[in-house]
Structure 1
């Protein structure tokens, strides 16, 4: 749970800072970017439903692990953009940017074989070496991202009042 919250807080920090320069990036779009940061973790549905059930429902071969890849988040961002009634292209871009913050942050995690997952699929199976900056269960990551988010929130609140 700490890692999921960290991904949302990282997206909040980045999108809020970007909103200081981009007028169109309102709080609504910041929230949509935060939702985008959750998209790669939709592969967790595999803990409750197996691939065969999803394949039967959809009628096509399907693997939930593919959702935690670049191709998966492009597909999910497209579906999410269609849900909105307006600004489909902007919604796609913001959702995808949020999901990319998640994937890039996961690319910095520590893995046993010192290589990140194949998150660039379907474009390549390449697994880049990871700098092993953190372990996903490390609570200090949540502490750092939480502190950053509170700082950005206070700065945003102070500057928006002026």
Structure 2
């Protein structure tokens, strides 16, 4: 479970930083977390004993969830269940979560030194494994907890960066007398 927690915490931290910069709406962060968990649906099939088989004569393998193609399918299916105006951002959030999962899994120690074909169906190339940690190690989860905690503190106690001038200051292109910024001089409404 440390592996699953790591995936969710990394997506939460990166998503929060992206939301602070205005790159993503915060309401899509839970979808990114779902996307980060989705590739591990293959582990559920191990418990159920249905890793591969045939449906209607067509063979299937649950390993497809743990590939770029599986992430794309989950993103497309997930986008269908949200309202029409949010489908694009929802699909991107689900896909970003899934891709972050695959990137973190590239760092797992593999006995043969190569990672699974995460880029399938684009290619069946086996990328070299990062060989940084075991999926059963706890230290990546501890690092992810510290990272997420730091981002949470930053998000709660530090104002987000803005392009607006601080209060009390007037931008150079705004007049200080409250009139519209045009070339006509202010008129005097008093009668002589």
- TM above 0.5, one fold? yes
Aligned equivalent of 1:2: 2
Structure 1 residue 160: deviation in Å?
5.5
Structure label with greater radius of gyration: 2
Change (3 A) 1:131 1:151: same
Contact 1:2 1:137 in 2 (8 A): yes
Pairing of 1:50-69 with structure 2 (within 5 A): 50=50, 51-52=52-53, 55-56=54-55, 60-69=58-67
**CA–CA separation in structure 1 for the residues paired with 2:135 and 2:91:** 27
Q: CA RMSD in A?
A: 1.9
Q: Which runs of 5+ in 1 are unaligned?
A: none
Structure 1 residue 59: deviation in Å?
6.6
* Aligned structure 1 segments of 4 or more residues deviating by more than 3 angstroms: none
Structure in which a larger fraction of residues adopt strand: 2
**CA–CA separation in structure 2 for the residues paired with 1:160 and 1:76:** 35
Structure 1 residue 101: deviation in Å?
0.3
Could you state the TM-score of these two structures normalised by the residue count of structure 1?
A: 0.90
Deviations 1:49-68 (A, max 9, x none): 4133xx43x77432111110
- 1:76 pairs with 74, 77, 81, which one? 74
Structure 1 residue 148: deviation in Å?
0.7
What SS is found at the alignment partner of 2:158?
helix
What SS is found at the alignment partner of 2:59?
coil
**Number of equivalences:** 158
Structure in which a larger fraction of residues adopt helix: 1
